[in-house]
Amino acid sequence: MVWKKLTEVNQLEEIALASHEKAQLIFKHSTRCSISATALNRFERAWDAMDTPAYYLDLIAYRPISSEIAEKFGIEHQSPQVLVIKDGQCTYSATHWDISVEDIKPELHS
């Protein structure tokens, strides 16, 4: 899986703008959490939507970005968490064991 690393707050505006053309995905991951590691591993093994821009946020290194995501998109912070951004808004989110590629796919193309 090819991730775009989310390391700057200004990338959120780029994601929001790009989402008017194509759905964008953000995966928020805690490198200190075994549940997050398992969810990320399961996600990466199942992911085959290579045409969808996918951003990876390391919550430990970039916690302020997670807070900004919560404020900008109106989604409570969780970890692990996956979000689909379309038309500048979060249209889908899932956390922990509810993260499922099969559930996300319809959200990317609706």
Task: Return the closest-CA partner of residue 93 out of 73, 66, 68, 67.
Answer: 73
Q: What does the pLDDT read at residue 95?
A: 94
CA distances from 66 to 48, 50, 101, 105 (A): 25, 24, 21, 23
CB 73 within 8 A of CB 90: yes
Q: What does the pLDDT read at residue 109?
A: 80
Mean pLDDT in residue range 22-50: 92
Place of tokens 């790009």: 18
For 4-109, which CATH superfamily applies? Answer: Glutaredoxin (3.40.30.10)
Joined together, the tokens standing for residue 104 give 């996300």
Tell me if the bond preceding 64 is cis, omega within 30° of 0.
no
CB 91 within 8 A of CB 82: no
Query: pLDDT tens digits for 42-88?
Result: 999 998 877 889 999 999 999 999 999 999 999 988 899 999 999 99
pLDDT mean across residues, the chain: 93
pTM of the model: 0.94
**Angle of CA points 31, 17, 42, to nearest 5°:** 30
Q: What does the pLDDT read at residue 18?
A: 97
